[in-house]
């Protein structure tokens, strides 16, 4: 067979190393390699794996991994904080954002106990809080009367009197009775939303509440 020029063989070597040449070409290249040391070296170099020495690779990879790990920790930390804030917000809204319970005759009743104490009896499922004033002397229809203002609030979750875990527990009616004052000290009780601090700042003027208050009990 005619001797093939090394330049031609070197052009073919990449295909030969990758194993994509025909059988005839493969045979031709191998015959050439039997007596050509230079081409043998070329083939050997092509078959060697290129690698980065460990001592050069480590600092680069180590730094990258450290940055990646720190970034993941920061993202995880922020996610936990954000989730916590959302849950806290939902909890706060559900259990502490309260509104006034609209008055209904069947829901809130003024009753008298055996010791002549007036009490407010709540017949609903639950409420969040109750607010009531001491008897306040106001002039109504030309007469001075001792008046109590009262209102209840509820939240989205409607607690403190509701048993959230065990709904089947027997209702303790004492939780729904709020003492007001002796019957002899009170002439009328009104249901109205009020802010005692705001009224105090306005020269303690309770008369303005009467405009929107509901009379729920009168002597």
pLDDT tens-digit map of 174-183: 889 999 999 9
Q: What is the model's pLDDT at position 215?
A: 95
Average pLDDT over residues 63-90: 68
pLDDT > 90? residue 75: no
Give domain status of residue 186, yes or no. yes
* Alpha-carbon gap, residue 219 to 217, rounded angstroms: 7
Residues 39 and 113 in one domain: no
By CB atoms closer than 10 A (0-12, 13-18, 19+), residue 162 is middle
The number of folded domains in the chain is: 2
Q: What is the model's pLDDT at position 137?
A: 93
Q: What is the model's pLDDT at position 136?
A: 92
pLDDT > 90? residue 93: no
The range of the structural domain enclosing residue 194 comes to: 108-218
Q: What is the model's pLDDT at position 218?
A: 94
Q: What is the model's pLDDT at position 87?
A: 63
Q: Are 149 and 133 in contact (CB under 8 A)?
A: yes
Q: What is the model's pLDDT at position 152?
A: 93
Residues 116 and 40 in one domain: no
Give domain status of residue 190, yes or no. yes
Count the helices and strands in the chain (H runs, E runs): 5, 9
């Amino acid at each position: 067979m005619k001797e093939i020029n090394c330049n031609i063989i070197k052009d073919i070597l990449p295909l030969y190393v990758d194993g994509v040449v025909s059988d005839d070409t493969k045979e031709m290249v191998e015959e050439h390699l039997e007596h050509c040391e230079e081409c043998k070296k070329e083939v050997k170099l092509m078959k060697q794996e290129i690698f980065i020495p460990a001592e050069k690779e480590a600092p680069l990879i180590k730094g990258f991994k450290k940055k990646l790990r720190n970034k993941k920790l920061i993202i995880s930390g922020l996610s936990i904080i954000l989730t916590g804030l959302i849950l806290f917000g939902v909890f706060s809204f559900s259990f502490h954002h309260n509104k006034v319970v609209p008055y209904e005759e069947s829901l809130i009743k003024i009753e008298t106990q055996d010791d002549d104490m007036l009490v407010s009896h709540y017949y609903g499922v639950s409420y969040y809080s109750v607010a009531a004033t001491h008897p306040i002397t106001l002039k109504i229809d030309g007469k001075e009367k001792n008046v109590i203002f009262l209102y209840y609030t509820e939240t989205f979750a409607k607690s403190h009197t509701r048993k959230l875990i065990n709904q089947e527990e027997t209702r303790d009616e004492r939780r729904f009775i709020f003492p007001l004052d002796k019957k002899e000290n009170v002439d009328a009780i009104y249901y109205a939303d009020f802010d005692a601090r705001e009224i105090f700042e306005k020269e303690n003027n309770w008369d303005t509440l009467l405009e929107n208050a509901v009379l729920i009990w009168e002597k």
